[in-house]
Amino acid sequence: MIPAAFDYHAPRTLAEALALLAEHRDDAKVLSGGQSLLPLLKLRLGAAGHLIDINRIPGLDGIEEVGGALRIGGRTRESELERSPLIHARYPLLADTAAVIADPLVRNLATVGGNLAHGDPANDHPAAMMALRAEVVATGPRGTRTIPIDEFFLGLFTTALDAEEILTEIRIPLPPPGSGGAYEKLERKVGDFATAAAAAQVTLGAGGEVVRAGIALTNAGPTPVRAVEAERYLAGKQPTAAVIAETARLAGAAANPSADRRGTIEYKREMSRVLTARALRRAIQRAKEQ
Amino acid sequence: MAMHKIRVKVQGAEREAEVESRLLLVHFLREVLGLTGTHIGCDTTHCGACTVLLDGQPVKSCTVLAVQADGREVTTVEGLEQGGKLHPIQEGFWQEHGLQCGFCTPGMLMTGYALLARNADPSELEIRQAISGNLCRCTGYVNIVKAVQHAAAKLRTTAA
């Protein structure tokens, strides 16, 4: 399959890339890892007059804790996240997530920023970033702005990014002591989108109670779903088996999936519940081990 | 039609060509350079038959543009053999019967090669995870895993 013709630009600086975006706006697409964009162009589900390849611009990748936050460069490859000792030690939710995105070959190119900016509710990072209460940094012609993750996903394949902006960074608040997270994904086979998946991030207090909880679902509606009621219910409680079961029930009730070859609405909602319970149990275990 | 002059180091040798923006790397390799060892399988980023190394990393060349490889290094299955001698990963597939129809083999070889370059002694699980983006419809993977293990042992002996 061959995409419809387009022009290709390989800017060497962010300023050059932004100027190209400002010039071509909706007729341009940013080429990061290209692992969602190129298949769409090849299948001709999408088209673009101009591809702006950001792969030759220095400084758009990296994983570091600085200024009270974990900063992940937008162009950081999934494979870098997957192999980062910092991510494994401090952000197990992200390590879990990176390891189940597409397959290892795709992850050598696919980027964290791309996984978010694509706006696909079937992608795995959106729910993980919601559970972690991340912020997205968008860079445009008038500088940068930060967008809370809850305000980032507007609809199917639609985000708060302006046509002139590039997603340059993701910021995640440093997890307080006693924090842990996990991502649980049900997929038919490696490389498939989630039938259902759940992200959980918890912080435990001195008495073992849940001080804070972030819970979000993948592929459970036109945008990634934050399980607000489940989070509220869990906060302040001892995470007993009964409390986890009720939290998971509330999360499952928040799922609004559509039926497809991966399952019926009822099945997917039930799997959202089951996976939330599993993710919570692992997140709590990891928080205790911290 | 947007044309671009690109220079790509393929198996260490500089190759130059004028290509269309939308030309895929796999088509550049097969049709422009005549390197037909890299196969096109699903053409939808699933099967991994088209796996090549881009700056040493295994990637699906049906999902990379040729222009993206400008100034970079590509290794295809043709680049494994050195001086008429099979690379240990190729020898492993030969010895352990790691193929039946052979269609997935070039991709399996490149993924296996890249795995052993960063992990000299992978466990069976690590091998299976590494090749999880390469589909084989014949072997059931058992002999492919053995082939990679054979190559790993051979490479460790050579390195020692």
Q: Complex ipTM, two decimals?
A: 0.97
Cross-chain CB nearest to B133 (options A1, A38, A106): A106
What CATH number is given to the structural domain containing B122? 1.10.150.120
CA distance B89 to chain A (A): 18
Domain assignment present for residue B108? The answer is yes
Residues A55, B68: C-beta atoms closer than 8 Å: yes
pLDDT digits (tens, 9 = 90+) for A190-241: 999 999 999 999 999 999 999 999 999 999 999 999 999 999 999 999 999 9
Domain assignment present for residue B60? The answer is yes
Residues B44 and B69 in one domain: yes
Which domains are assigned to chain A? 7-53 (3.30.43.10), 63-173 (3.30.465.10), 179-289 (3.30.390.50)
**pLDDT over 70 (residue B71):** yes
Residues B46 and B73 in one domain: yes
**Which of A8, A29, A40 has the most B C-beta neighbours within 10 Å, making it the best mutation to test the interface with B?**
A8
Mean pLDDT over B109-137 rounds to 98
**pLDDT over 70 (residue B74):** yes
Domain span at residue B68? 3-78
Q: How far apart are CA A199 and CA A185, in angstroms?
A: 9
Last residue of a domain, one of B78, B96, B119: B78
Residues B50 and B111 in one domain: no
- Give residue A175's pLDDT band: very low, low, confident or very high (50, 70, 90): very high
pLDDT at B2: 86
Residues 72-131 of B with CB under 8 A from A: 111, 129-130
Cross-chain CB nearest to B132 (options A6, A38, A104): A104
pLDDT at B1: 63
State the pairing for strand pair A63-66/A158-159: unpaired
State the pairing for strand pair A28-31/A158-159: unpaired
Q: How far apart are CA A18 and CA A22, in angstroms?
A: 6
Q: How far apart are CA B57 and CA A112, in angstroms?
A: 18
* Structural domain count of chain B: 2
**pLDDT over 90 (residue A93):** yes
| Other Cβ atoms within 10 Å of B21 Cβ, number | 19
DSSP string covering B89-113? HHHHHHHTT--SS-SSHHHHHHHHH
Domain assignment present for residue B21? The answer is yes
Residues B93 and B62 in one domain: no
Residue where the block lists tokens 């970079």: B72
pLDDT digits (tens, 9 = 90+) for A48-90: 999 999 999 999 999 999 999 999 999 999 999 999 999 999 9
Domain assignment present for residue B83? The answer is no
**Which of B30, B60, B74 has the most A C-beta neighbours within 10 Å, making it the best mutation to test the interface with A?**
B60
pLDDT at B158: 86
pLDDT at A160: 98
Q: Give per-residue burial for A101-129: e unless 16+ CB within 10 Å, then b.
A: bbbbbbbbbbbbbbbbbbbbbbbbbbbbb
pLDDT at A216: 98
Last residue of a domain, one of B58, B78, B98: B78
Cross-chain CB nearest to B63 (options A7, A39, A51): A39
Residues A104, B58: C-beta atoms closer than 8 Å: yes
Alpha-carbon Rg for chain A in angstroms: 19
Last residue of a domain, one of B78, B108, B139: B78
Q: Chain A partners of B53 at a C-beta cutoff of 8 Å? A: none
**pLDDT over 90 (residue A290):** no
Mean pLDDT over A18-31 rounds to 97
**pLDDT over 80 (residue B160):** no
Residues B60 and B25 in one domain: yes
Residues B71 and B98 in one domain: no
Average pLDDT in chain A = 97
**Beta-ladder partners of A144:** A139
Q: Answer whether A106's CB lies under 8 Å from B133's CB.
A: yes
Q: How far apart are CA B84 and CA B80, in angstroms?
A: 10
Residues A8, B134: C-beta atoms closer than 8 Å: no
Q: Of all residues in chain B, what percent carry a pLDDT higher than 70?
A: 99
